[in-house]
Amino acid sequence: MIDLIIFLGLITTGYVVGQTLERRHYRAIEQREAALLALPTTSTKRSFGTVPPGTRSELVQGACCISVDYFKRIAASLRQLFGGRVSSYETLVDRARREAILRLKEGAGDAHQIINLRLVTSSITKGQRGQVGAIEVHAYATALYDH
Amino acid sequence: MDYSPKLPEHNVNVSQGHPLAEFFPLLVATIVIFLVVVGLAGLLVDQAVTYIDPELESELFASSPAQYDFEVEASSERTAFLQGLADELRVCMEMPYPITLAIAASPQINALALPGGHVVGFSGLIDGMSWENGLAFVLAHELAHFKHRDHLRGMGRGLVLVAASAVISGSSSALTSMLTPAVSLGAASYSQSREAAADAAALEALHCKYGDVGGAEELFRTLEQVNDDGIWSEAHYFSSHPELGERILALQQLAEDRQFASGTKAPEPCHFCGN
> Could you tell me which residues come within 8 angstroms of residue B102 by beta carbon, excluding any fewer than 6 positions away?
B68, B72, B73, B79, B118, B119, B120, B121
Write the single-letter amino acid at B102: A
Q: Does residue A108 have a pLDDT over 70?
A: yes
Q: Whole-angstrom Cα distance, residue B99 to residue B205? A: 16
Q: In this predicted structure, what is the pLDDT of residue B233?
A: 39
Q: In this predicted structure, what is the pLDDT of residue B109?
A: 79
The phi, psi pair for B265, rounded to 5°, reads -120, 150
Q: Does residue B104 have a pLDDT over 90?
A: no
B177 touches chain A (CB under 8 A): yes
Q: Does residue A129 have a pLDDT over 70?
A: no
Domain count for chain B, please give it: 1
- Chain B residue with the nearest C-alpha to that of A97: B13
Q: How far is B171 from chain A (nearest CA, A)?
A: 11
Q: In this predicted structure, what is the pLDDT of residue B184?
A: 45
Pure H helices in A36-139: 70-82, 87-106
Q: In this predicted structure, what is the pLDDT of residue A7?
A: 86
B8 touches chain A (CB under 8 A): no
B174 touches chain A (CB under 8 A): yes
Q: In this predicted structure, what is the pLDDT of residue A23?
A: 95
- Chain A residue with the nearest C-alpha to that of B10: A30
Q: In this predicted structure, what is the pLDDT of residue A44?
A: 93
**CB pair distance less than 8 Å for A88 and B5:** no
Task: Quote the mean pLDDT of chain A.
Answer: 90
ipTM higher than the 0.90 cut: no
Query: What is the share, in percent, of chain B residues with pLDDT greater than 70?
Result: 79
Per-residue pLDDT tens over the stretch A111-124: 999 999 999 999 88
Q: In this predicted structure, what is the pLDDT of residue B34?
A: 82
- Where do the DSSP E strands lie in chain B? 100-104, 111-114, 118-122
Q: Which domain holds residue A106?
A: 2-145
The span from the first CA to the last CA of chain A, in angstroms, equals: 67
Q: Whole-angstrom Cα distance, residue B122 to residue B103? A: 6
Q: In this predicted structure, what is the pLDDT of residue B135?
A: 87
**CB pair distance less than 8 Å for B5 and A40:** yes
Per-residue pLDDT tens over the stretch B115-145: 778 888 888 888 888 888 888 888 899 888 8
Per-residue pLDDT tens over the stretch A81-94: 889 988 999 999 99
Q: Whole-angstrom Cα distance, residue B34 to residue A87? A: 23
Query: What is the share, in percent, of chain B residues with pLDDT greater than 90?
Result: 4
- Chain B residue with the nearest C-alpha to that of A83: B26
**CB pair distance less than 8 Å for B19 and A75:** yes
Q: In this predicted structure, what is the pLDDT of residue B102?
A: 85
Domain membership of residue B63 (yes or no) is: no
Domain count for chain A, please give it: 1
The phi, psi pair for B269, rounded to 5°, reads -70, 150
Residue A41: CATH number of its domain = 3.30.110.70
The phi, psi pair for B253, rounded to 5°, reads -60, -45
Per-residue pLDDT tens over the stretch B210-258: 888 887 877 777 777 666 554 443 444 444 445 677 888 888 888 888 8
Per-residue pLDDT tens over the stretch B14-33: 988 898 998 999 999 988 98
Domain membership of residue B46 (yes or no) is: no
Domain membership of residue B10 (yes or no) is: no
Q: In this predicted structure, what is the pLDDT of residue B2?
A: 73
- Chain A residue with the nearest C-alpha to that of B176: A3
Q: What is the pTM of this model?
A: 0.61
**CB pair distance less than 8 Å for B19 and A88:** yes
Sign of CA dihedral A3, A9, A13, A15: positive
- Residues of chain A whose C-beta is under 8 A from some C-beta in B? 1, 3-4, 6-7, 15, 19, 30, 33-34, 37-38, 40, 48-49, 71-72, 74-75, 77-79, 81-82, 85, 87-88, 90-91, 93-94, 129-130
**CB pair distance less than 8 Å for B172 and A130:** yes
Q: Does residue B77 have a pLDDT over 60?
A: yes
Domain membership of residue B164 (yes or no) is: no
Per-residue pLDDT tens over the stretch B161-211: 777 777 766 666 656 665 655 554 444 456 777 888 888 898 888 888 888
Q: Which domain holds residue B77?
A: 70-145+191-257
- Cα dihedral A146, B3, B6, B10 in deg (nearest 10): -110
Give contacts of A33 with chain B, Cβ < 8 Å: 7
Q: In this predicted structure, what is the pLDDT of residue A97?
A: 96
Q: Does residue B35 have a pLDDT over 60?
A: yes
Q: In this predicted structure, what is the pLDDT of residue B185?
A: 45
Give contacts of A3 with chain B, Cβ < 8 Å: 174-175, 177-178
Q: In this predicted structure, what is the pLDDT of residue B177?
A: 61
Domain membership of residue B117 (yes or no) is: yes
Domain membership of residue B49 (yes or no) is: no
For residue A30, name the pLDDT band (cuts at 50, 70, 90): very high
B175 touches chain A (CB under 8 A): yes
Q: Does residue A67 have a pLDDT over 60?
A: yes
Q: Does residue A29 have a pLDDT over 70?
A: yes
**What are the Cα distances from residue B26, in Å, to A8, B32, B35?**
16, 10, 14
